[in-house]
Every structure is written in C-alpha cells, then in structure tokens.
Amino acid sequence: MTGLTPAWGPASAEGWLDSYLSAAAVLDTLRTYDGPAYDAVVLAGFGEHGPEGVRELVDVPVVDITEAAAHLACLLGRRYGVVTTLDRSCGQIEDSLETAGVARNCAAVVGTGLGVLDLAGDPGRPEAAFLTAAERARDAGAEVLVLGCAGMTGLQRAVGEKLGLPVVDGVAAAVKLAESLVTLDLTTSRAGSHQQPLPKERRWGRRPAR
Amino acid sequence: MTGLTPAWGPASAEGWLDSYLSAAAVLDTLRTYDGPAYDAVVLAGFGEHGPEGVRELVDVPVVDITEAAAHLACLLGRRYGVVTTLDRSCGQIEDSLETAGVARNCAAVVGTGLGVLDLAGDPGRPEAAFLTAAERARDAGAEVLVLGCAGMTGLQRAVGEKLGLPVVDGVAAAVKLAESLVTLDLTTSRAGSHQQPLPKERRWGRRPAR
Amino acid sequence: MTGLTPAWGPASAEGWLDSYLSAAAVLDTLRTYDGPAYDAVVLAGFGEHGPEGVRELVDVPVVDITEAAAHLACLLGRRYGVVTTLDRSCGQIEDSLETAGVARNCAAVVGTGLGVLDLAGDPGRPEAAFLTAAERARDAGAEVLVLGCAGMTGLQRAVGEKLGLPVVDGVAAAVKLAESLVTLDLTTSRAGSHQQPLPKERRWGRRPAR
Amino acid sequence: MTGLTPAWGPASAEGWLDSYLSAAAVLDTLRTYDGPAYDAVVLAGFGEHGPEGVRELVDVPVVDITEAAAHLACLLGRRYGVVTTLDRSCGQIEDSLETAGVARNCAAVVGTGLGVLDLAGDPGRPEAAFLTAAERARDAGAEVLVLGCAGMTGLQRAVGEKLGLPVVDGVAAAVKLAESLVTLDLTTSRAGSHQQPLPKERRWGRRPAR
Amino acid sequence: MTGLTPAWGPASAEGWLDSYLSAAAVLDTLRTYDGPAYDAVVLAGFGEHGPEGVRELVDVPVVDITEAAAHLACLLGRRYGVVTTLDRSCGQIEDSLETAGVARNCAAVVGTGLGVLDLAGDPGRPEAAFLTAAERARDAGAEVLVLGCAGMTGLQRAVGEKLGLPVVDGVAAAVKLAESLVTLDLTTSRAGSHQQPLPKERRWGRRPAR
Amino acid sequence: MTGLTPAWGPASAEGWLDSYLSAAAVLDTLRTYDGPAYDAVVLAGFGEHGPEGVRELVDVPVVDITEAAAHLACLLGRRYGVVTTLDRSCGQIEDSLETAGVARNCAAVVGTGLGVLDLAGDPGRPEAAFLTAAERARDAGAEVLVLGCAGMTGLQRAVGEKLGLPVVDGVAAAVKLAESLVTLDLTTSRAGSHQQPLPKERRWGRRPAR
C-alpha cells in the first residue's frame, strides 16, 4: 500500500473550499502519477469531494472512506452515526452520504468541535470529545458509530470499548472494500456517469497546460 | 467455508410465504448447529427475510447477499439494477433493499420470468433471459447490475462481457464483506435493535419445545 | 370471530427472530386449518412479519393490526405516534409501517420498556408506562396515538381520556377494516406480488413434508 | 345517509380554482347546516381540498374519498394506481395523496381524458376510457386500482372483472371507514393541527357576516 | 404596486378553514377585478392555499410569499427555518412547502404562540416571541430564518441583527421574484396542471352565478 | 456586470473531473481577484461544483445558475425538466439539484448528446437537439423547461415558442436572483455550514503557497 499526499492543496480539509481544492489536487496527483502500477485507489478525506472524478480518471476500483465506513456500518446495525471534527463539516458529510446512496440509515452526523489538526496532539483530547459527541449520536438512534475523519484512525478500539458499540474506521473499511473489488475483478462502470474524461485542454493551476 | 441447507423449509424461495418459512428454518438450523466454530454467517437467499433475526442469534458478523451485492454495486456506478427470477419477487426485493438502507441508488429490479429451479437447467436459457431483463434495467438508468438470485452465480462473467457492465454476484460479495468484518474485528451492535433473543419458550415446528 | 393461536412459535414476539418464527407458525396454522369457513383474516402481532405471506395463501382479505391502526390514525390527525413494548421493537415497527406504505405520517415509535408478557399483570403499570412514552410521542408531533401491541388492547379509553388524544387499538381497527373489505367484496390482488404460493415441496418444521 | 350538495360552488371540480371554491362552499354548507344530527361526514370530491377544514369545523369523524380509497387499496396489494378524469387533475390528486400520508404505495395517477360531467352520459364511454388508462397504471406497477372520481362510482365491478384486479370505489370506502370510526368511538384529534376555528369575523361570499 | 384585500373571507387566516375560505375569496377578488392592468400577482398569506388556483386564473406570473421566502432562503444557507404565529399553523405550512417543492432544506417550522392579529400591537412582543422560537429553529439546524406571516414584515432587521442570521421576509422576496419573472418574460406554464379554468357554471357565495 | 473566466481549469466542464478542477480554478480566481468591488457572484457552470465554497470565501450573495433556474422553474409549473448536453452530465446535475434542495419538483434531466463546445457552432443543431430532448422531459411530466448549460443561453425564446412551454435560462435567472438578494440586503449565513475558510496553508497548484 502506497500513501500519496498531493503536492498542493490545503493543509487539511475543513469546509467546501478546502474540499474542492483538495479534490483538484488529488486528481492532479493521480493524473501525473508515474510510480509503480496499483490495483485500486482509496481516498482518505472523510466527506470530501473527488471520488466520482477519480472514477472517471483511473481504470481500477476507487473507494472513498466515507462511503466505505457507511457501507460496513449498515451491516452492523439498523442505524449508524458519524462523529466528525468541526460542526461546519457535518452538512458536507450528510451530502456526501446522500449522493453515495447510504444516507438512509444514518441517524446523525455530530461534530466534536476539534479541528483536523487538533487530532494530532494529546490523544486523550480527541477521545473525550469523541465520547461526548457519540452520546448525541446514540440518543439520535445510532447503534453503530463511524470515525468521521481519517485523522481519528486508531481511536476505534478505545472508544468502541467505552461505548459498547462497534466503531468503524473508514480507512480500514475502504482498504478492505478495495481489496474485495480487486479480488472479484470488479471496477467502475463506464456506462453512463463515469465515462473517461473527454480529451480537451485542461490547465491544473496557473502554469502551461500539459 | 461450510454450506448449510436447512433440514426443513421450501425447496426454493419465491414469494413471501416461502421467504418467511425459509427464515424460520434458517434460524432453527443455526440455533441447533453443533459443528465446528465459525467466524461469520453469509445468508444466500436473495431478497429473503432473516438477516436481522440471525444477527440477534449469533455473535459473529452476518452478511446477506442482497445487501452485500447492493453495497458493492454502489461503489461501481451511480445507479445499479437487480435482475432476478420471477416478477412476483421484485417487490419483496425492493422492500429488502429499502430496509437495508441501500435502495436509494437502485434504478430498477427486473424479473426474467425464470423460476429459481429453472436456473439449474440449460445454462443458455438463464443467460438469454438475463440479457433481456438487463436491457430494461439499463434503460431505467442502471450502470451496474446485480445477480438477483444465488442460483445465478456463475453468470456474472458471461453477461458482464456481453453487456459491457460490471455485474455483481451477491454470494461472492457477501463472502468478501464477511471476511472484511472479521478481519476488522467488527460484529453486530447489541445496542438497540439487534439484542439477543430474550429467554422464553419457543417451539420450532409441531414438536415439543427445547 | 374465531381466535387462533399457532400450535408452535414463540410465547411472545419481541424482536426479529421471534417475528420470523411466529410468521412461519401463523402460516402453518392457516395452511392446515380445517375449521369452519371464514371471511377474512386479522393478524394480531403488532409490527410482526407475515401479512404478505398470508395474502399469498388465502383468498379472503387479510388485515394486519399494525397497518390497520396506522390507516385509521391517519384519518384522525396530521401525525400519529406508536407506543409499544420494548425499545428493541421500535425499529422493526418502523420498517413494517414503511413497507405497508403508512410511515409518512408517523411522528415517532416509542417504547415503554415493558415486555409483552408484562402487560398481563397489574393494569396500572402498563397505563403509567404508556402515559410516559406517549408524552415523548406527543413532543415529536403525534396528534393521535396507536397502541403498539395487541396485549395493550383495553388501554385505549383510559389513556385517551388522560391524554386528551384519540388512541387507536389495532385489533379493533383491523376487525373493522376486514369487515369493510368483506362488505365491499374486495380481496387481495393476485396481479404482481401476492400470487398464490407456487406448488412445490415445503417442510414446516423437522418432520416429513405434506 | 344524507347527501348534501353546496348551494354554491362550481358545477364540477376540475382543477385548483374549482377545488378551492368547492372547499369553501362545502365548509359553508356544513357550517350553516341545521338538519338532523349526523355521526360522520364523508367528503366526495376526489383529490379536492377541504377535509382538514371540515375536521376543524365538526366534532364527528371526517373521511375523504381520496384517502379512504387509498387506505383500502394499500390493504389489497403492494402498489395501487388511480384512474381519474382529466390529465390536469393528476397533479392535484398526487398532492392530496402525499399530504394524506398515503402516496408511498401509489404507482401512478392516470387521466382518462374525460371530464367529470362526461361521466354521466353513455356508460360505455367511461368504461372504455377507464380500461385504457388502467393499462397504463398497471404497467407502472399498480396491482389495485382506485376510481379517481365520485362520478365513476358503479364502474368498479365491470372494470374490475375485465382487468382481473380489485377496484376500489372511494365513496363506498369512505362510508365504511366513517362507520368504523363511529363504531370505535374515534374522532379527529384536537391537539395540534385540527383545532376548532378561532372565533373571529368571517364573510362567506359578498354578503354581511353572520 | 396595488394591494387588494378580498371583500369577504376571514379577518385573518389561522388554520385550514380560514385558508380555504380565504383562497376562494382571493380567487373571487381577482376574477372580478376591473382596475388597471397588472404585471404579476403576489399572494401574501403565509402557508395559505390558493396559488395554484390563481395560476389557472390569470396569465401573469403568480408568486406566493411562502414559496418565495423558501426559495431565497435556500440560496443563503444549507437549511432554513420558519418562525410563524400559532402552533396550529405549522403543519399547514409544512404541507405548503412540500407541495411547492422546497421542503427538503427546511429544518423546522416553529410557532411563536402569537395570533396573526396579535402581531399588530406592541412591537416588542412579537420580537421577543420570534427570538425565542428562532432559537428552537436554530437548534434544529436552521442557518437562515423566514418570517412565517405577512404580519411579521418589518421584524427582519431587528431580529436578524440579534440572531446574527439572515432573515427573509416573504413579502419582499415575492415582490422581487415577481419582478424577476416579469423582466424575464416568464409566466405560468399552461401545459399539464395549470390550465385555464374550464368554462362552466360557478357560484361564488350564495347569490346568482355570473 | 463583469465576466471572469479562470486563468486555469478545463476548456469546458463535462463530467466530475472537469467539475472539480473548474471549482478549484473558480475559487482561485475569486480569491486573487483585485478588480473593482462587486455586489454579488453568479456562477455560470450548470450542475458544476463550487457554490458552497464560494459562499465560504466571499461576503456577498452567491447564486449558481443551476439552482437559480430550478427556483424560478418551480414558480412556473408543478414539475420542471432540465435539458442538458451529454448524457454523462445528467447524474451530476441531479445530484446538484438534490443538494441545493430543489430536486423534488424535477421530473427529468435529459441529455441532447451535444458537447458544451458543440453548442457554439451552427445554431440550428442545438435547437433541434433541444427539441428532441425536451419531448422526453415533457413525457416525464415536465411543464417547464430549464436550459441545462450556460452555452445554451439564447435558445430559450425559439424553443419556448416551438414547445409552447416556459423555458428558463439559468444565467438570466441567477442574475435576477442575485440582484434581488442585494436589494434585500441578504447574504450567505455564517452560522453552521458556510463559515469563512479557516486560516491555514493552502497551495493552489504546484507553486509556492501564498
């Protein structure tokens, strides 16, 4: 597994501007990638834009951590909840779940009030904030929880035990789903929505096209 | 992987009566199972009842082929379609997708007119019937197809190539999802809906309780 | 009016396993019934599975108490609420209302915390628990209440007066709707979903087929 | 059963202007009614406005033929269709079903192209037009049909036999539902939406208030 | 801009009976209007019935303040809330938003407990009541507020500043939208639903037809 | 009115990759804009991403042509249809309408098979293609049509007359809505979703941050 971070874009994605900038940077990264071949792409921005564009671009399966977490969560209980970073991101996540087709069983998306970069500090702080937000999701009917940010990866065991609920990490979920699609020899449909990008001039930032 | 077929129930499941009878038989089979330990349960009746009851009964992950196929199909295109056996089963499948939380991206559930047991005969007949029904699903917007019966397993490659669309086999999909959940150490939430069956007297057919 | 209780099945239905077992037992009871002819079937398990299967099996109208109560409740106010037994049953009831086509005006399904068999004891306890849960349904917008368990029959007058709201008993509602259908000479459509069960081998428990 | 026709309003109701005029006239008729006491009100304008206002005004149960037909149709099949008069009325009927909470299982509302007053002539013409429109509803998934105009009452037997489908007459359905509510001692909730009209000056047409 | 008040109808509209009476009176007013020509019609009853009927009647654009406020509110935030007069009106407003096609982004409709005619008194009282109700809408997710009664016009600046949220006055919104449609030379479609009223006898109150 | 075209991005936007690239380029253009002050922003990419990000970035009202056209279309008929360029764009447009809260009354989004750049050639070709696609939208229930691409601006009069339907041009609609918001002194809510971008490092293309 190779991790790629775009050479440009925002330091972290919190809100729509960051998300669109990040989507373009991710697409540029994959478009110009010339490393070893790969079997699948996992997109690790929770609730962020981009997956449909990546599906147009590459011929291998593409799995986003948002949808991956939601798909597995649906298998573990009747309703799931997402606990994420800032409140401002909740609406964007709800929209992502809706267009991915998995919002129906989502009971709530709840913010912890912590920014993405706050997650890197003292591990106790995210855990406490997660537990508080998780109670709100539970009161709204969630029987399963989803870590609503790739930066929360690693929390699932500790908070799951304290809450007595299954907690899904989207990154791990997406890797497993990507492996599953590869094994089953399945990849994105080219019929209808996700056709390859049409050949045309495109400039990726203020530099000459290529 | 061990395959279990209930010692009672219908010869095949086509319609609600068969589905409820089958659900009870599957539950009885698992309840009285005394073979080697298992890590997960895959339920192989497309659109059939039972998964929530099995989730109450066992402590390992439970994946139904209906929901499994739909979850993977959502990752492969914007809308998917299901091609199943008899028209009478379409409504029941639609209800199953709805309660599993994955109906949003389903463009159509279409019948082939073939009964479950007809699938076992000349392989050309199911394939031709599948292709005809698949065109209807495609016209309704499906970009990905799902085999809507466990008895169709094996058709996916041939029809996929002819249609130029990814075709998901629910049995294979469910096995992969079950393996994923086991690897990620995730199982059904006991909070809320899927609590263990309450201790009480239950008679499984016209015989003394046990 | 003749009451039938299946010779097998669970002592009471609380959760999906019980519901599927009960559905199979109800179908077996009707399938092997050889008493006097009847004009309609009323199914008295609130939120339980089975109605669609019974509609396949018999040629007379079939009315389930869940849907009956909801249909009448829709005529009495803009939103209704259901007060039921255990919290674990709420999700199953919501799914039943959804597939019956009457969930749109349901404001809430609320549990009392009492098991089905607890309802048979001191009548004051269910009443108090009902009133507490009813307040939650009312806060969620319910203008009409539904007794969410056949074992609550009889409570409607006392709690209705105390709450100042109409309270619908599903058993009485279903009997009236069944009578209406009989009088109007209407019965289940055989077109599409509810065709008669196909002739095939079926075993109803671990005994020889018949 | 006493039939009342408002002393004012449109000769027939086809479209929203007619529907609102008719609703006001019906309310005025009931408001000023001074005949013998009555136990319930049946409103016989299919898809027309008014039921909620009548529920505010009178203390007895109020049943509209639109919702009544839909409620019974839901008990007879998985999806129902409405066959009505002019195409212009279809949208208004869809809205009525939606706000009454029974649109979920409606597969289609189809016009026959006949005006309300055309229904009174040669009985063969409505029947033929109904059968043509019914085929479209059936193709859209309807397993049960509803007569979408009070003026169609009487057609149900002939067209039902020819189509092999149950056909619900809203007038008969509403009478049965009204009788059911009266027998069960249930009437409109005064909590929330349907409170009695506030005392205030109201002029019912260009004449002095009273 | 010319303001018209019907010569008959209710002193204010609170509830369905008032709304239907008002709709008929508004239609009668427009039908018999013989003043200077006009370019558009603005309907100033929040959540009231009538717009579709007026669209059938006149050839110029028709904009209702309910839908106008909702349309502009959707442009200002992800979810909006409506603060209206009595609680009894909330359901009717929700239904109006739904059939107008703009309910999806409505987070809540909340009553202040003040009647329409109470709004004309001491300006401090509506403001305080509005602020209290607005907090409930905000807690439900509203990022933008709508004045839910034409009688609240003028409050938007004061409450908007105190709440730190955009507040939309439906009357002003509707005037702007009507001007926009006139400038763009757009008016109601005559295809389908909003055809002109059919020529037929109609009596508008208890007097001879004309 | 000043038109801005980003200095980078795709030559035209057809599909998700183009849409995300375009969104980032539009944001960069506005972020670095140093011309005269402006009162509002109109975004002229039909169905494209970006509006929410622009709402975070600027303090003036932001109106996208997709949502603008849909809002006005809702005022002109009960259901509207969108006629756009390539079929591959239809899904993306449907998603945009959904998240903007105006999909409810959309009867269909139909492609003409013409690319964005094809629209610039012989004017007869787009018109003929539009009329063909418009018939499909009409059959699906559309009473009003929307030009589904900024490049179609100018077609509305000719096709509207031939179809006998109102046709909304999103660019004109958005300009009018933006003017309306400016006149009413309304701008994007900063509560909840559309807060200003957080201060952090962001690189807009492969160059040093600034």
CATH code where residue A102 lies: 3.40.50.12500
Does A191 map to a domain?
no
Contact between D193 and E92 using a beta-carbon 8 Å cutoff:
yes
Q: Return the SS3 of C167.
A: strand
E166 shares a domain with E74: yes
Lookup: tokens for B9: 């129930």
Say which residues have a Cβ less than 8 Å from residue E176's Cβ, sequence separation at least 6: E68, E72, F179, F180, F183, F184
Answer yes or no: are the C-beta atoms of E107 and E140 closer than 8 Å: yes
Count, in order, helices (H) and strands (E) of chain F.
Answer: 7, 8
Average pLDDT of the residues in F166-189:
98
Distance CA F59, CA E21 (A): 44
- Tens of pLDDT, residue by residue over E121-153, are 777 889 999 999 999 999 999 999 999 999 999
**Set of chain B residues whose Cβ sits within 8 Å of the Cβ of C50:** 20
Best residue in D82, D156, D186 for a mutation probing chain C (most C CBs within 10 Å):
D186
By Cβ distance, the residue of B88, B201, B202 closest to C195 is: B88
Chains C and B make contact, 3+ CB pairs within 8 Å: yes
Assess whether D43 and D77 both reside in one domain. Answer: no
Give the pLDDT mean for C39-56: 97
Interchain contact, E63 vs F74, CB within 8 Å: no
Residue C202 has its nearest CB partner, among B21, B49, B92, at B21
CA distance C142 to C79: 5
**Tens of pLDDT along D2-35?**
999 999 999 999 999 999 999 999 999 999 999 9
**For residue B82, what pLDDT is reported?**
98
Alpha carbon separation from D96 to C112, C113, C141, D49, F77 (Å, rounded): 34, 37, 21, 8, 17
Give the residue on C whose Cα is nearest the Cα of B12.
C200
Q: Is residue C150 part of a domain?
A: yes
On whether the CB atoms of residues C149 and C119 are closer than 8 A, the answer is yes
List pLDDT tens digits, range C66-118: 999 999 999 999 999 999 999 999 999 999 999 999 999 999 999 999 998 88
As a three-state string, the secondary structure of chain B is CCCCCCCCEECCCCCHHHHHHHHHHHHHHHHCCCCCCCCCEEECCCCCCCHHHHHHHCCCCEEEHHHHHHHHHHCCCCCEEEEECCHHHHHHHHHHHHHHCCCCCEEEEEECCCCCHHHHCCCHHHHHHHHHHHHHHHHCCCCEEEECCHHHCCCHHHHHHHHCCCEEEHHHHHHHHHHHHHHCCCCCCCCCCCCCCCCCCEECECCCCC
| Residues with Cβ within 8 Å of residue A119, at least 6 apart in sequence | A85, A126, A149, A151, A152
**Cβ atoms within 10 A of the Cβ of A132, count?**
13
β-partners of residue B42 are B63
Residue pLDDT, tens place only, E48-97: 999 999 999 999 999 999 999 999 999 999 999 999 999 999 999 999 99
* Residue E58: predicted pLDDT: 98
Mean pLDDT of F89-111: 97
**pLDDT (mean) for A175-204:** 97
Could you say which of E77, E166, E186 has the minimum Cβ distance to residue F72? E186
Q: Give the pLDDT of residue A35.
A: 95
**Can you tell me the ipTM of this complex?**
0.96
User: Is the pLDDT assigned to residue B209 strictly greater than 70?
Assistant: no
Nearest-angstrom CA–CA distance, E8 and D202: 7
Q: Would you place residue C120 in the very low, low, confident or very high pLDDT band (cuts 50, 70, 90)?
A: confident
* Percent of chain F with pLDDT strictly greater than 70: 98
Is B195 a domain residue?
no
| Residues from chain E contacting residue D91 (CB–CB below 8 Å) | 192-193
C-alpha triplet B119, B121, B124: angle, nearest 5°: 80
Mutating which of B186, B188, B194, B195 best tests the A interface, going by the most A Cβ atoms within 10 A? B186
Closest chain C residue by Cα to residue B21:
C24
Determine, yes or no, domain membership for F139. yes
Give the C-alpha separation, A33 to C191, whole Å.
Answer: 56
Tokens at D22, concatenated:
């008719």
Site of tokens 């989502």:
A106
Contacts of E15 in chain D (CB under 8 A): 53, 56, 195, 197-198
Q: What is the pLDDT of residues B2-59, one digit of tens each?
A: 999 999 999 999 999 999 999 999 999 999 999 999 999 999 999 999 999 999 999 9
Q: C123 Cβ partners below 8 Å, 6+ apart?
A: none
Question: Can you give the residue range of the structural domain that contains B162?
Answer: 65-172
CA-based nearest distance B44→chain A, Å: 15
* Amino acid (one-letter) located at B44: A
3-state secondary structure of A105: coil
Residue C78, phi then psi, degrees to nearest 5: -80, -30
Residue A207: pLDDT band by 50, 70, 90 thresholds?
A: low
Across the interface, whether the CB atoms of D53 and E201 are under 8 A apart is answered no
Residues of D in contact with E58 (CB under 8 A): none
**Is C8 close to B203, i.e. CB distance below 8 A?**
yes
- Chains sharing 3 or more CB pairs under 8 A with chain F: A, E
Distance CA E142, CA E83 (A): 11
CA dist., res. C50 & res. D77, Å (int)? 14
DSSP state of C114: -
Confidence of residue F1 (pLDDT cuts 50, 70, 90): confident
Q: Count the neighbouring beta carbons within 10 Å of the beta carbon of residue C2.
A: 7
% of residues, chain F, pLDDT over 90: 91
Contact D17 E98 (CB under 8 A): no
pLDDT at D191: 95
Q: Which amino acid is at D94?
A: E
Whether residues E20 and E31 share a domain: the answer is yes
User: Residue E73 and residue E105: Cα distance in Å, rounded?
Assistant: 9
Residues of chain A contacting residue B74, judged by C-beta atoms under 8 Å apart:
67, 71, 100-102
pLDDT at C210: 46
β pairing state of D62-64 and D106-111: unpaired
| Strand, helix or coil for residue D83 | strand
Chain F residues whose beta carbon lies within 8 Å of the beta carbon of residue E173: 180, 184
Distance in angstroms (rounded) separating the CA atoms of residues B77 and C10:
43
> Which residue stretches of chain F are H helix?
16-31, 51-57, 65-74, 90-100, 124-139, 156-163, 170-183
* Contact: E177, F67; criterion CB under 8 Å: no
Mean predicted lDDT score pLDDT of chain E: 95
Q: State whether A183 and B176 contact (CB < 8 Å).
A: yes
Q: What does the pLDDT average to over D175-196?
A: 98
Partners of A169 in beta bridges:
A147
Percent of chain D with pLDDT over 70: 98
At a CB cut-off of 8 Å and minimum separation 6, what does E70 contact? E80, E82, E97, E100, E102, E106, E146
User: Using CB atoms, which residue from F166, F184, F188 is nearest to E173?
Assistant: F184
* Residue D177, domain member (yes or no): no
Contact D177 C172 (CB under 8 A): no
At residue F62, φ and ψ (nearest 5 deg) are -125, 125
Q: Is C177 part of a structural domain of the chain?
A: no
Q: Quick one: what percent of chain E has pLDDT higher than 70?
A: 98
C207: confidence class by pLDDT, cuts 50, 70, 90 = low
pLDDT, tens digit (0-9, with 9 covering 90-100), for A105-132: 999 999 999 998 888 777 788 999 999 9
Residues of B in contact with A42 (CB under 8 A): none
* Closest residue on chain E to D195 (Cα): E88
> From C87, which residue of chain B is nearest by alpha-carbon distance?
B192
Contact call for B172 and A165, based on CB within 8 A = no
pLDDT tens track for A62-95: 999 999 999 999 999 999 999 999 999 999 999 9
Question: Residue type for D8, please?
Answer: W
Query: Nearest CA to D70 among D111, D39, D37, D100?
Result: D100
Which of chain F's residues have a Cβ under 8 Å away from the Cβ of E77?
188-189, 191-194
Handedness of CA A185, A190, A195, A197 (dihedral sign): positive
> Taken in order F20, F23, F25, F28, is the CA torsion positive or negative?
negative
CA atoms within 13 A on the CB side of B51: 27
Nearest-CB residue to E188 (from F76, F164, F183): F76
For residue F208, pLDDT over 70 is answered with: no
On whether the CB atoms of residues D49 and D23 are closer than 8 A, the answer is yes
Residues E56 and E70 in one domain: no
| CA F24/CA A32 separation, integer angstroms | 18
d(CA C149, CA C85): 7
DSSP 8-state assignment for residue C195: P
- Tokens describing residue E41: 């019609």
Residues B53, C15: C-beta atoms closer than 8 Å:
yes
Are D189 and C166 within 8 A, CB to CB?
yes
The answer on E94 and E35 residing in a single domain is: no
What's the domain count of chain B?
1
Chain B residues with beta carbon closer than 8 angstroms to that of C202:
9-11, 18, 21
Contacts A–B by Cβ distance under 8 A = 140
Contacts of A204 in chain F (CB under 8 A): 8, 21, 205-206
pLDDT averaged over every residue in chain D: 95
Q: How far is E164 from chain D (nearest CA, A)?
A: 31
CA-nearest residue to E105 within chain F is F101
Q: Is residue A167 part of a domain?
A: yes
Helix (H) or strand (E) holding F169: strand F167-169
Q: Does residue B23 belong to any structural domain of this protein?
A: no
Structure tokens at F19: 């849409």
User: What is the structure's pLDDT at C209?
Assistant: 45
Within this chain, do residues D125 and D145 fall inside the same structural domain, yes or no?
yes
Q: Are residues D80 and D160 in the same domain?
A: yes
Domain finish residue from D64, D93, D121:
D64
- D121 pLDDT band, cuts 50/70/90, is confident
Give the chain E residue nearest F144 (alpha carbons): E189
**A80-101 as b/e, with b when 16 or more CB fall inside 10 Å?**
bbbbbbbbbbbbbbbbbbbbbb
Same domain, D76 and D144: yes
| D72 plus D159 within the same structural domain | yes
The whole-chain average pLDDT of chain B stands at 95
Asked whether residue D111 falls in the same domain as residue D135, the answer is: yes
Give the pLDDT confidence score for residue E207 in this predicted structure: 65
